[in-house]
Structure 1
């Protein structure tokens, strides 16, 4: 009998020794042979970033894949969004992350997966909470999952749920450890189910960095996402590129307008000593205004009428003190440019040899031919590559069309809860294009050079004195320069300088008395104002004050 008790005691000791040896073995993520096990360690840093290390054992002949959605619904209209970075695998497998998901694919063996998570810390009411799913989206069942969490300060609480998404089944075990740790375990996690760990943190343990995005309604449609942010950035680059292009095209003009420019040499002396006026690059008064401001204006036509009188195509006669008559002197010939012939025909059509300015007020004058011919002239002279008005119109309509397309796109995307900011981007681009249309016409190199010469011409009009011109040539030089003074806004100064030096003019007179330059200087501004008023009524042209 003692023998039997001795055998029993020996057996018991052996069994206890085996059990003790087994319990002394190091922990492993592997549960039972042929099963997948995971040991997941979470560490929350002071800056709010969560560092995750997953040690996963996959038995021979098996593979394991985990797909982690990074958008988790917190309500019918809102998602909580996580950002995963620095995903890597030590062992046999891969780990990749995108804006929508983290994908881990492992082959047989023990692999260590590491990655970081931003967005795991949230302020919920008065509580600061760390939340992450250390196991979810596996395509195979896990025999066991061990989870440990380290936080900067001692955690206040832990809540661990395991099971299908949406269920509230608690994990097998979950407890606060000593100091800053949390431990949880789940035995037997079926494929596709998840473990969701929420740890209550001390105030100030880490900054809240959770991101919530609307998934429906206008707020979602107009939410600023990484994709819409990139598109907005591209728009900014595009607009900047457009500004740089305009700067390049306008750079010649900016240089022409910069710095001081002295008077240009517009007074030429022939072999006999006679002095004559010659405009730079042969530019006519009406063309000067169009080259300078890129528009055909009323003042351009008024200056052209004065120039036609100066060149003996018209005679201007004052009638009754407040009216003026235009009389045909010579027919329009090939010496006139296309727009000058259009002005001549609009003023004195075929069969009409004279007309009062007061009569023109009641007659509808068509100046569209004048405008078209003047724009065609500045292109033919190679001062512009294309008609400035057509260039402005093209870009304006393109901008309006793009803006309307953007409005339609915005409405459509908002209705389907798409990224409506794309449509807003298109609207902004269209509006910018329409507003920039007025700056799109660009002068050629020759046009920019002429712009500089026109500044010099203005310097001549401001600085020249009657004594600089021989008396015999003074009337002609004064008259030929006057239309340029009109279009450049120097009429008052030009009249004031020369009014006392000549008895009259060869192209302007009064019905009841001989020409008097002093009286002309007094009346001429009223004449210009009256002509501008009649032409402005005709339409088609921009008035001086528009």
Structure 2
């Protein structure tokens, strides 16, 4: 037993590893200041977007000399590109918006299958339209069509109807996961090739993230070593510095002057999509114009609003106006567009992002 005059156990050599002393706190602040300054310097010299002069507000609806009213995306940007330009990241929603855009442009048809039971989940078939050409397809869109509908020798989950390739959305779960990274790489390459970024966003972000991870690992090792000298806080500072460096990669991709101008116009486009009632569009082409807007609204999180506008945009004597890209089941009505699109987007997003299933 411990006698009354014996000192208590001090807990071992690391009991005071994180002692708060003037020296440890000063060194911690120095490490964080150096890390923050380095990130700020890198961003200032190579990570800032190019500045552009202020331009007149952009409006996406224009009237051609022929009198035709058109929806004109800024700088010809497409929905998948739009999302990548705005947040510098190629996400699942950008891919789903691309599928919807390909349908609206006539390259595929989205067919909603009838439910065998009210308790079964809905399903859709994405069907290639044989009469559509490929002249206006971007490289990333061609890759997406190949991933969805396969190519020569790839007939898994693909069915042919009169020579037309199609795939059920439910069959994509686990099958498309390998293509997600490929699609992201294609989108990064595309926004760089368009001249909107100085370098591919992922190519800029990856070194920062890697360096930050390595620095954090070094900090963990240093924390243990410095802990014996009571300077464990300094090691934790190195860990935090690595986190700061990795975070810097998020803001590192720099837009060109063209990309900065596009970003400004995209803010105007979002403002239009948030506030425009749709009634300002001509009755004779409102359904087609709103259909073109739907994929862009999806990226901005405004799909439900514009789906409701689309549902109300039918013309007398033409209840299917603007719906050539969507093949609904029987007993379906135009008013069901918002619910159908919401379910389609949710189901396709889940199928794309689902990890590949284990095969025995």
**Range class of TM-score, shorter chain:** 0.7 to 0.9
- 1:232, distance to aligned residue in structure 2 (A): 4.9
* Counterpart for residue 162 of structure 2: none
Contact 1:462 1:494 in 2 (8 A): no
* Whole-angstrom distance in 2 between the partners of 1:525 and 1:421: 50
- 1:402, distance to aligned residue in structure 2 (A): 1.9
* Counterpart for residue 145 of structure 2: 344
Deviations 1:429-472 (A, max 9, x none): 32322343333333333322222211111122223334322223
1:509 aligned onto 2:306: no
1:305 aligned onto 2:95: no
TM-score after normalising by structure 1: 0.51
* Counterpart for residue 367 of structure 1: 180
- 1:382, distance to aligned residue in structure 2 (A): 2.3
Range moving further from structure 2, 515-524 or 528-537: 515-524
* Counterpart for residue 4 of structure 2: none
Matches within 5 A, 1:447-458: 447-458=259-270
Unaligned runs of 5+ in 1: 1-216, 540-546
- Partner secondary structure for residue 485 of structure 1: helix
* Whole-angstrom distance in 1 between the partners of 2:329 and 2:17: 79
1:437 aligned onto 2:244: no
1:398 aligned onto 2:225: no
* Whole-angstrom distance in 2 between the partners of 1:237 and 1:362: 45
- 1:295, distance to aligned residue in structure 2 (A): 1.6
- Partner secondary structure for residue 286 of structure 2: helix
- Partner secondary structure for residue 471 of structure 1: coil
- 1:507, distance to aligned residue in structure 2 (A): 1.2
Deviations 1:468-501 (A, max 9, x none): 2222322221111110011111111112223222
* Counterpart for residue 328 of structure 1: 128
**Structure with max Cα Rg:** 1
Deviations 1:163-196 (A, max 9, x none): xxxxxxxxxxxxxxxxxxxxxxxxxxxxxxxxxx
Contact 2:287 2:310 in 1 (8 A): no
- Partner secondary structure for residue 241 of structure 2: helix
* Whole-angstrom distance in 1 between the partners of 2:268 and 2:346: 26
- Partner secondary structure for residue 127 of structure 2: strand
* Counterpart for residue 243 of structure 1: 40
Cα distance change, pair 420–254 in 1 and its aligned pair in 2 (3 A): farther
Contact 2:215 2:238 in 1 (8 A): yes
1:488 aligned onto 2:300: yes
Contact 2:174 2:355 in 1 (8 A): no
Higher relative strand content:
1
1:280 aligned onto 2:74: yes
- Partner secondary structure for residue 284 of structure 2: helix
Contact 2:79 2:299 in 1 (8 A): yes
- Partner secondary structure for residue 125 of structure 2: strand
* Whole-angstrom distance in 2 between the partners of 1:401 and 1:238: 14
* Whole-angstrom distance in 2 between the partners of 1:274 and 1:311: 18
* Counterpart for residue 9 of structure 2: none
Contact 1:266 1:279 in 2 (8 A): yes
Matches within 5 A, 1:55-204: none
